Structure 1
Amino acid sequence: MPNIGDRLEEARKRQGVSIREASEATKIRGDLLLSLENNNFDFDLPDVYKRGFLKLYARYLKLDTDKIMADFEAAMLGRSKHKRSDSREFFGRMDLPERTTPLGSSESTPPFGDHEEPKNPESKPAERMEQQADTSLYWKVGIIFVAVFVIFSLLTLLVQSIFSSDPEETDPGTETTITDNSGGGPGNSAAANAPMNVVLIGLGDTSVVVNTVNGGERIREASGSLEAGEDIPFTANGPIMIVASNIENIAVRINGREYRADGMSGLGRWYFKETGPYNP
């Protein structure tokens, strides 16, 4: 009798696959796979399941499934004849005649009889398990794709909000409170056109964008990354808007007077003119 189990075990070890990995890939319990590799087909399941599991496992190991199934059927047929012989010996002298069927009838054995595949949906467990595995894979790929798309969209919106140069998009409900640490307060007069000597002071790492308010132009020499301990001096000819990704990590010095944000963190916008910070 061909040893099917030895071929299964040899193919699995040759590919470097463990029983656990094979079980996860085929969705067949590990103890059943071990029974197949031990050439033990007496586990308590209908024969149709045994055929389905063996065919699926042989296909997974890239073996000749037709040869494996043919050897399995031969082994099962030999085992069936052996059981009938044992049953006759059990009854001693009694002869148990076998039921004969006319040659060529629908009840005769192949190749003379006609056979139909069982219509029971449980007759093809291997194919049904493959379909379920494919459907699960499609769902997982779809969920991963949607999650990546949502994360990318959120990151794009965050970057656009940080580097937006339009002051009219400022949310009045999230204006930053400014504290004058030099003893002077923010001015409330109209924006002056006199040049302002401005210094951006890095209290921590952040990204900064400085735009003019009236013209809406970006001040290139003042925009970019600001590290802790770094100072960026520049001159502005009129009111400016400062956007920082971490508002708590910068201080602003205008004409020698320094301003900081108290109790604020994250993305924020400041508006400054010659007399100090103001709300547009």
Structure 2
Amino acid sequence: MDEIGNILYAARIAKQVTLDQAHQRLKIQKTYLSAMEKGHFELLPTAVHARGYLKNYAKFLELDPQPLLDNYKEQLASIKHKPRRATTNGTGTVHPNGDTSFFDPVNMQLNPMRGGTNAESVLRLIIIFALLAAIILVASRFFVAQNPDRSFGPVETVTHFYRSVILGETPETAAEIAPQEAAIEESAEPDLNNPLLIETSRNVVDDADIPTAVPNFNCPLNEEVMTIKIDATERVWMQLYIDGDLQVQDNVKAGESLEYIAEKNFRINTGNAYAIYVTVNNEPLGRLGNPQQVQDITCETVAQ
């Protein structure tokens, strides 16, 4: 990218223009202009921003933007397709650069030095089941000894063991707790005639949740260059034209922001105007329209 940056820097010096003057004219941050002149296009927000800023900066410097855009596209493609280096962990297992925790389960199975892990897991499970069986056996014998006329199943045995040994419950306290538990279970049954249960928040719409009518969208006036920021408040399909060129024709995710620079005009076409919030030159213009309203607007600069 250094070649592109050198061309931009030389053209600006030849025109005797400062970065401040370029910023005032193009409404592009000086840090982005400086990054382009140094060839650090990775510091720009996205590749779309980089192409737009490069095109407008080249026009401002009276350069043909197309060769620069082609050069940027070629270098960007070479960076994306550059093969990643692979490293080994010393045992013959190959890891790509980055976090290796994802590959550990696979390597554990492929690496013969770690083959004992499965045997250890099985041994632990056997020990756990043996302990549980011993606890149930001891508990059943304990309660059979105390109640010779009554038989206990596994679940009942564990329950009685927990209440007697852990909670310290006696037959007297159990007799007092039983009516309370029955009353709690009876009170837990829902009253289907209770209007509070029938009329819930799922089927009652709060008036505050209903969007109010949106004022008519007005384009900015007397702008030489427009820096457009589009925020999607919900998933929405849209078309976006910048200076007559189609930039977006797709669904935009909720919370996603798009930013472009228009020297002549921009056009937005959508089927849900309420989902699109527009800001031009840091001035909020608001939503394009009401919910599910089809809107097709075009705003122009004074240069048009």
Q: Answer yes or no: same fold by TM over 0.5.
A: no
TM-score calculated relative to the size of structure 1: 0.35
Q: Which protein, 1 or 2, shows the higher relative CO under an 8 Å CA cutoff with sep ≥ 6?
A: 1
Higher relative helix content: 2
TM-score for the superposition, normalised by structure 2: 0.33
